[in-house]
Copies of this chain bind each other. A is one copy, B any other.
């Protein structure tokens, strides 16, 4: 069984003692009832994992003695998913959780022509990502961008491989036809009701290749999860 893992930003990699913030302290001491001497791990979401023991079980400022520092390897390819927001925020949150579990590196919420007005609470989304990172025993927190207009974002976006998953019936590539699984890659997922013809044309004009996510019609968040799985597995 792995030691419990907690997130705390900005730990000095050479620190031998760390004072946790109130949220973590409360969670560790009051909720989990951990005691002085209990072992745990901390990560800063930037690949660092610190192993240590509780030195002072203070419920607002728990102090941990650090015994060991390790760096978790980052994913060999950098995977970016740019995806339309959806009206039902819970569905977007599920996508986010699953995308983090699968090990994506960057998530860019898109505002497309047909994106329905959607609530976007950055802090809440960030918390969901942190929980998913810890849950899946990872030490790299993906980058979550602020929502951006598709037509402003797309022309400026660069990556080794760029692709778009739209629902038009034209010929599409399998992922394996456009990448051997090692390239840094970006995939765009459209809103319910799909990208408009103009949006698809804009993507093709900027060298985004149309890719297939299977033969069935997927909801936006399902397409996002499918893309995350396919990018994670190669």
Measured CB to CB, the residues of A under 8 A from B are: 75, 94, 97-98, 101-103, 135-138, 174, 212-219, 222, 225-226, 229-230, 232-233
Once the chains bind, are A174 and B217 in contact (CB under 8 Å)?
Answer: no
Interchain residue pairs A-B with the least CB separation, the first 4: A214-B232, A229-B229, A226-B229, A103-B216
Once the chains bind, are A213 and B225 in contact (CB under 8 Å)?
Answer: no
Q: Taking the full assembly, how many copies of this chain does it contain? A: 2
List 17 A-B residue pairs with CB atoms under 8 Å apart, sorted by A's residue number.
Answer: A97-B222, A98-B222, A101-B217, A102-B216, A102-B222, A103-B214, A135-B217, A136-B216, A136-B217, A138-B216, A213-B229, A214-B229, A216-B232, A226-B229, A226-B232, A226-B233, A230-B230
Nearest neighbor of A176 in chain B, beta-carbon distance: B176
- A97 cross-chain contacts in B, Cβ below 8 A: 222
Once the chains bind, are B174 and A101 in contact (CB under 8 Å)?
Answer: no
Once the chains bind, are B102 and A233 in contact (CB under 8 Å)?
Answer: no
- A225 cross-chain contacts in B, Cβ below 8 A: 98, 225, 229
